[in-house]
Structure 1
């Protein structure tokens, strides 16, 4: 255990003894460790299964040490004024046609969009048959999203949850994202409680489990199987108002599904997210620039095109796709800031233009 963790654990114990219920310092540190750990695991776009397993075990040990001090990181401490909540609801409420348009406007993902649109059509017709009292065979709507990181899996899942709500298939239409650390506990009995809590939160929407293969560990002391069993039961009990999407690398997802007969029977629809092409990566970068009110001069534009061409020619098996573009974009705008900051008089044009010099940080 880190010394900081033990010290804050003692602080929480002291606070509890004096009825200072608002103090949960160790809990905050736990979520910080969990977030930073996930960031460093994926920052280079290459996920090592052995390192991931060590990370999962370490997070589980911290969670077990927390015990009763663990409070779910649900944002309840942040009070949002009602007027902002109302505005948020207005902004998030769109028609079915608008959600479908948003889906079809996504860069690339042509095969994914075709598969998702076919799935939506199937659901709509099933819903119509159901409303007219026509008998139809049962169908599982749980999905497997396979593909490398940064290929839009979470984005498509979020849109699908809203579309299914508009169709009338889901009562709420929200998306709950989680992974192994959000489902598996550190000691006997904790996993079923954690998994059930996440399922309850996802009721009426879609539960999106990233890196789901990490639940199927071969270790005898691992509680991932308990999470899977709890999940399978909930999928059966609440099949009318809960959809589960499991996501991860293709080869690892195949192994995950074959690890349990219940998984194979419930997840029979697969959507594969291909890596982006160099042109699509360029379009994603330019979209980020447009959203930030940035443009490129001629040499910079040519550099970007060549950069993504080389990236695709030398990409790894676990290529990070959109995440790699996001990291590249953030490095470039940082370089622009470092170039402009020493200047006394900065024009609007300079603020809104990326030059070739800003990309040399990548060399």
Structure 2
């Protein structure tokens, strides 16, 4: 049906070019993939748009020997195959990476508990023992820069390592990645994202924005599409919704379907001054920098003050990253004025670098 409609539109100028036919075929293939993912029953095979080409214009296919649609598919398949060929990190490696994260003690314990629970459930299943129903979908609560996306990525890998998910990729989106501007397009757009996340974790940041509009807001269409996919693909898809505490609680309570599917919450607190300093040290070490004794003392006081005086715009780890980049820029300006900086000079951050950055 879609192919027929698009062919009628293409023929409005009494011509159907090969380029138009290839585009129609691409649209039809995308819709077919979405319908297959949603278990929609097939009626009959779509007609071949290329059979209705009327223009004598040399198509791109004839010039290159490669169909534009086929080329895109080949590229996508090659990328997927390449990703699958890359060695996946082991459970031990992922757990070690989780432990290396600064702070987040309660979050780490909850992730370990959940991983152990899933491992035992898999063992019971393999031994023919029953398991009670369990949802792996989660709500992450906390301010920006508190590690939510990082933990979601690790959880995707952990679930794959223990066999709860088939691939373990993380697909990160916000409202703009799910909601379209016209009636009917949001469901298609959301389905495409879901298809890319099958086998892994779909992470929706600021998910409350999907329910922030009125009754006719397209965000509600995205929510309904998500709820259906979470049911249809519950054995190979985990959805994590994230955002600020209060708006997220209102979002979950706005729809009974959301309440029933999201019953696990992880709270990500703001990093304190000591943790912010630890993150700064890690950045310095990773990038080959070291602090003078004066700079170390000043940095500790600076991050303590940053935490104590935080406001609604406090960015946690993002603020540490921004401060580090500012300091490196200031250090570069200082070294550029030197005639021949030594290796030690290139690695050293002074109190002066920190002071100038902080004052600005």
TM class, shorter-length: 0.7 to 0.9
| 1:147 aligned to which of 129, 142, 145 | 142
SS of the aligned residue for 2:294 comes to helix
| Equivalent position of 2:171 in the other structure | 176
TM-aligned CA deviation for residue 102 of structure 1 = 1.2
| Equivalent position of 2:47 in the other structure | none
| 1:349 aligned to which of 328, 341, 344 | 344
1:300 to 1:88, Cα distance in 2 relative to 1, 3 A: farther
| Equivalent position of 2:95 in the other structure | 100
1:109 and 2:89 matched: no
Contact 1:278 1:308 in 2 (8 A): yes
Contact 1:179 1:211 in 2 (8 A): yes
Q: What does 1:230-241 correspond to in 2, within 5 Å?
A: 230-241=225-236
SS of the aligned residue for 2:228 comes to helix
Contact 2:323 2:357 in 1 (8 A): no
Q: What does 1:193-342 correspond to in 2, within 5 Å?
A: 193-317=188-312, 319-342=314-337
Rg larger for? 2
**1:240-267 Cα deviation digits (max 9, x unpaired):** 0000000001111101101111001000
SS of the aligned residue for 2:303 comes to helix
SS of the aligned residue for 2:204 comes to strand
TM-aligned CA deviation for residue 343 of structure 1 = 2.3
Which consecutive unaligned segments of at least 5 residues does structure 2 have?
A: 1-16, 21-71
**1:276-331 Cα deviation digits (max 9, x unpaired):** 11111100000000011000111111111011010111111453110010011111
1:170 to 1:305, Cα distance in 2 relative to 1, 3 A: same
SS of the aligned residue for 2:338 comes to coil
SS of the aligned residue for 1:172 comes to coil
SS of the aligned residue for 1:247 comes to strand
**1:152-183 Cα deviation digits (max 9, x unpaired):** 11111111111111101101011100010000
TM-aligned CA deviation for residue 357 of structure 1 = 1.1
| Equivalent position of 2:159 in the other structure | 164
1:361 and 2:323 matched: no
Question: Aligned pairs, how many?
Answer: 289
1:305 to 1:89, Cα distance in 2 relative to 1, 3 A: farther
TM-score (norm 1): 0.75
| Equivalent position of 2:29 in the other structure | none
How far apart, in 1, do the equivalents of 2:328 and 2:216 lie?
Answer: 46
Contact 2:213 2:219 in 1 (8 A): no
Contact 1:103 1:113 in 2 (8 A): yes
TM-score (norm 2): 0.76
How far apart, in 2, do the equivalents of 1:346 and 1:330 lie?
Answer: 20
How far apart, in 2, do the equivalents of 1:355 and 1:319 lie?
Answer: 25
SS of the aligned residue for 2:315 comes to coil
Misfit runs of 4+, over 4 Å: 17-20, 85-90
How far apart, in 2, do the equivalents of 1:88 and 1:317 lie?
Answer: 41
The more displaced of 327-336 and 309-318 is 309-318
1:124 and 2:116 matched: no
TM-aligned CA deviation for residue 18 of structure 1 = 12
TM-aligned CA deviation for residue 187 of structure 1 = 0.8
**1:187-233 Cα deviation digits (max 9, x unpaired):** 10110011000000000000000000000123244200000000000
TM-aligned CA deviation for residue 345 of structure 1 = 0.9
Task: Indicate the structure whose relative CO is greater, using CA pairs within 8 Å and at least 6 residues apart.
Answer: 1
TM-aligned CA deviation for residue 130 of structure 1 = 1.1
